[in-house]
Amino acid sequence: MAIRFEILGRSSENNARIGRVQTPHGVFDTPAFMPVATAAAMKGLTPEQVKSTGSQILLNNTLHCMLRPGSERIAAFGSSHTFMRWHGPILTDSGGFQAFSMADLRTLDDDGVTFRSFVDGALVRMTPEISMRAQNQIGADIIMAFDDCPPAAADVPQQRVEQAVQRSVAWLQRCKVAHTDTQRQSLFGIVQGGTDCALRKQSVEQTCAIELPGYAIGGVAVGESANAIADVVQFTTPLLPVDRPRYLMGVGYPRDIVMAVAAGVDMFDCVLPTRNGRNALAFTRAGPLRLRNARWALDQNPIESDCDCSTCANGLSRGYLRHLFSAGEMLGPTLVSLHNLRLYQRLMLDIRRAIVCNAWSSLRSDWPCLSAADPEPNGEESE
């Protein structure tokens, strides 16, 4: 296997565990949060700035990279690591979610999906083999199987969810055959099944019957309530192999991350820190701040007084940040995105400490936002 996963400790209070994943491009600690650099770029941030937040691994989106600049062009530079000058680990999603979410632009069959490119309107075909070839060219350390990801179960017939389970395992088998760079890249399978526990169990059994370095829970954060997400995660996670990394795709609110870690999940990604940062919403321990609000105009405090991100540590005030957004200055999105990424990595550090020290209950007192309402729904959509 191209990666090596070791569990370093477990909580005595729940199923949470800490670990370490060794990849060809370095190590990342788990539980891990992966910022989303969709098209081989983190919007408004340099790789050095992202690294300064404590982020150890990034996510690239295969479909976006395939359409622009093109996976062949990235391969000409060696890999996405050298192309974007990020020298740590990278994970690529398969592009499946983005392809299937273009409901008004695509046609789906048992072989794959055809859709119109958002770049130039050309028809694009995506299959397990095409996804694997593109991910091999992008060169990420961890690559994801091409799966069938339908919308939230409440919005689709049961037959469609059952079909997604069957397609996903059939496509996983094709992905494993098509994956040609097993010495450099590790392929993860994806469990589907909507909110139906029987289908989730079936999908776990079929997916995990295929020997792989890791497994993911997909098909959540596509419109379900927070309670429905928790039900799926808490049911599915313990069914996954104990000795492999467990990845929950697209779930990213602090409350949901803590819930999933307690269930035994090791890896997360979401666009929320940076997408919200670009829209003047700052995450804090106590809950989100909407920095465009007039109430912050004369506020001389940083976003969060105890935060060590470069934005807060340099004393940049809420009032100044509000001014940047009001004036349309590009610096505002950069500074708040930096803070948000650091906030997420601080949360992951505290989660790891709570596991080691068996102090899980202290997280809720230290992080009041875990009980706060979300500013918007979870979502896997790209940046």
Task: Return d(Cα 70, Cα 66) in angstroms, integer.
Answer: 4
163 half-sphere exposure, CB direction, 13 A CA radius? 13
Q: Where are the alpha helices (DSSP H) in 139-196?
A: 158-178
Give the tokens for residue 136.
Answer: 């091999």
CB–CB of 126/113 below 8 Å?
yes
68: left (phi over 0), alpha (psi -120 to 50) or beta: beta
CB–CB of 18/9 below 8 Å?
yes
Task: Return d(Cα 218, Cα 165) in angstroms, integer.
Answer: 11
The alpha carbon dihedral of 98, 276, 33, 165 has a sign of negative
CB–CB of 225/253 below 8 Å?
no
Residue 367's alpha-carbon distances to 238, 270, 287, 323, in angstroms, are 26, 19, 9, 28
Whether 231 is catalytic is: no
Whether 269 is catalytic is: yes
Q: Which amino acid is at 128?
A: P
In sequence order, the 6+-apart residues with CB closer than 8 A to the CB of 294 are: none
| Helix or strand holding residue 215 (H, E) | strand 214-217
Say if strands 90-93 and 142-144 run parallel, antiparallel, or are unpaired: parallel
Q: Which amino acid is at 238?
A: P
Task: Please confirm whether the linkage preceding 69 is cis (ω < 30° from 0).
Answer: yes
Q: Which of 141, 147, 266, 269 is catalytic?
A: 269
Task: Return d(Cα 232, Cα 369) in angstroms, integer.
Answer: 22
Task: Return d(Cα 270, Cα 150) in angstroms, integer.
Answer: 18
Nearest to 346 by CA among 53, 87, 139: 53
CB–CB of 171/191 below 8 Å?
no
Task: Return d(Cα 205, Cα 300) in angstroms, integer.
Answer: 55
Q: Which of 93, 141, 148, 256 is catalytic?
A: 93
Give the tokens for residue 246.
Answer: 């467990």
Just list the catalytic residues: 93, 269
